[in-house]
Structure 1
C-alpha cells in the first residue's frame, strides 16, 4: 500500500472530522475548489440496513432481536461514518457522483443525504428496490448542480441457466457533466458464495448483461463516454471481467472492446480495496471507455487520476496476518463498529476548456 497516499488521506480525514465538529461552513470551502474537476467514487458500504423487519426480504438478522442485534443507534453510527468517508474522499468538495452497493433501501439513503451535513450539497438519489433475496441494492448519489440526469434504467441480470434466479440489477444513468454526456453504470455482481468456479456463471451473466447494454449505447453513440464502477466480486484479471465484459488490463489503443480497466492499472501499482485471507485484491473496480482517455477535447481522465482511498481511519492492524485490513462493521456476526470491509475507489474526470 502506498504510505504517502495513506498519510495524505489521513490528514484529509482528520480535517473533515474537525470541520464536522466545529460546524464550519463546508459549502463555502467546497465552492472554492476548481469546478473543472469532477470526482466520482464507488463504495461498498457493507450492509447499510435499517433496523426494521421487511417481510419481503431476508433481512431478519439486521433487526434488534436478530443475529446481529442491529439497532437504530448502530444504523445512525454507520450512516455518519459513511458521510465522513464521502466528505474525506472529496477533499471537502464531495464527489459529484457516488456509487454505492449493499444498501437496503431508500430510507437509509435519504437519511444519509438529508440527515447529515451532506444535506448542504443537496444530493439526489437514484435507487429502487432490487429483486435480490437479501434486499441489498445498488444506488447512485449525484449533485444536481453539477450532473444533469437525462436517462436512468435498472437493468436486470438474466441467468441463462436459471431464469428464476434473482440478483441486484445494474443501474444505468446518463447525464450532462460539464459539456458532455456521461454514461454511468453501478454494479454489484454475484458473489463467490459456494465456490469461485461454481459461482462464476453468475458473474459471467452480469458481465454479459452489462456488455449488451454498453453495446446498445454505442450503436447510436460510438464515442460515448462510459464509466463503469462497482463491486464485481472478482479481480481485474478474472475470466468474467476479461472474457465476459472484454475489459482490457492496460491502456491499449488496440483494446477490442474499447473498455480499459483502471482497477487493473491500480492493482499493478500496488493498490487494493479488499483483503481476503491476508491478501489484498481489488474487486471494487472502475472501468472507462477509451473515449474518456483520449484527452483531446471535453471530458477526459487518465489512469493517474484514480486511486483507492486508504485513510488510516478506514484501516486497523491485521492481527491474524500482517499489515492492515479494512476497519469493518462486523467480524462474522460480532459488531466491530468500523466503516466497511471494503475501501472506496475514486477517479477524477477533467475538462479541456475550449
Structure 2
C-alpha cells in the first residue's frame, strides 16, 4: 500500500521588525503652556499660578511627563522604536518644546524641533519634532494663512508649518496644520476651513508644479512625496478634506479609522476624527530604496483614556473647562507607519 504524504503549507508571517519601519505621528497636546506670563499672548495669564487655571510648575511638569510618555509609545508596537517625526498642535513656544524633548522618556533619543510663532490669538502654534538620526532637515518655513470676516477684517489663525527634509533616505515635504476651530459652530466656520485647504493646495502646487505627487513610479530623486498632517477641525467626509485636499493627488490614510465607536476626540458623546494624516499618491510605490505607506492608526491606548464615570473611554483631558483633571490631552494621537522598499 503506497504511502500518501499529506503536505501542510503554512503561511509564515515575517515579524514587522524585519522591515525598516518609521512612524510619522501627529498629536494635539491640548494647551501646552509654560508657567511664565507672556503679556503678548492672549489667555496666557490663565496659565500661570495665579490665573484661572492655577497652572503651577508641578502641573506643568506633570503635563510634560504625560505627553512625553504618550509620544514614546506611539507606533512602538509596530516599529519597536520611538516616532521619527511628530507634528504637534497647541504648543506655546520653544521653551515648552525644549522642556518636552528633555523629559526622561525622550531624552535618550536624538530629537530636535522646529517652531515659529504664529498670529493665532490664543498663542498656540504647531510644531515639528524629529529624530536627527533618521531625518535630515533641509528647509522649514511658516506658511501664512490669510482669512477675513464678512466685514473684511483680518481673522488670524495658525500658520501651516512647512518642512522639507530627507526621511530614511527619501526626500519628503511635510505640512503641519491646525485649522480654524468650530467654536462658533461648524456651519458658520465651514468656509474658513475650505479656504485654508485652498491656500494649502496653492502652496503645494508652487513646490510641485509638475504634479509629480500623483506618480508612484518615479525614482527617489524625481518623486515629490508629501505628507499632510494636523488637526483639521473637520472629519474626513467634510468638504475641506474630501473636496479641498484629496482630489489634488492625496489619499487619507486615517479616514477608515473613524466609526461610531472610535475617533481622535469626543464631543457631546460623539466621536470625531479631526486629527488625520494624508499622503501623496506617490507614497504608494514599489520603487527600490523608497519609503512607502504601510498602515495608519489612532493611538488610543487605555493609558490615554478616562477610566471611569460617564466619560469612560474618552480622552483623559488636562482640563474640562476650568476644572483640572490632570490627564494627557483632549485628543488622541494619530500616526502612519512607513516602510522602506
Structure 2 CA distance, aligned partners of 1:163 and 1:215? 27
Aligned pairs (5 A) from 1:64-103: 64-91=49-76, 93-103=81-91
- Structure 2 unpaired stretches of 5+: 1-16, 214-223
- Asked whether the 8 Å contact 2:75–2:335 carries over to 1, the reply is no
Structure 1 outlier segments of 4+, above 3 Å: 160-163, 268-271, 317-321
Change (3 A) 1:206 1:196: same
Task: Tell me the C-alpha RMSD between the 2 structures.
Answer: 2.0
Structure 1 alignment gaps of length 5 or more = 1-32, 248-255
Which structure 2 residues correspond to residues 110-125 of structure 1 after superposition, within 5 A?
Answer: 110-125=98-113
Q: For residue 221 of structure 2, what is the aligned residue in structure 1?
A: none
C-alpha distance in 1 between matches for 2:18 and 2:59: 36
The answer as to 2:331 corresponding to 1:342 is yes
Higher alpha-carbon Rg: 2
User: As a proportion of its length, which structure holds more helix?
Assistant: 1
User: Of 97, 110, 129, which aligns to 1:109?
Assistant: 97
Q: 1:295 to 1:277 in 2, by over 3 A?
A: farther
Partner of 2:4: none
Contact 2:275/2:334 (8 A) holds in 1: yes
Match of 2:319 in 1: 330
The residue aligned with 1:267 is 258
Contact 1:125 1:142 in 2 (8 A): yes
Listed as ranges, the matches of 1:223-242 within 5 Å are 223=213, 224-242=224-242
| In 2, Cα distance between equivalents of 1:179 and 1:74 | 40
CA–CA distance in 1 between the matches of 2:46 and 2:65? 21
Distance in 1 (CA, whole Å) between partners of 2:138 and 2:185 is: 40
**What is the TM-score when the length of structure 2 is the normalising length?**
0.86
Q: Does structure 2 conserve the Cα–Cα contact (< 8 Å) formed by 1:318 and 1:325?
A: no
- Equivalent residue for 2:218? none
The normalised TM-score by structure 1 is 0.83
Contact 2:128 2:176 in 1 (8 A): yes
Distance 1:269 1:299 in 2: 32
Q: How does 1:51-62 map to 2 (within 5 A)?
A: 51-58=35-42, 59-62=44-47
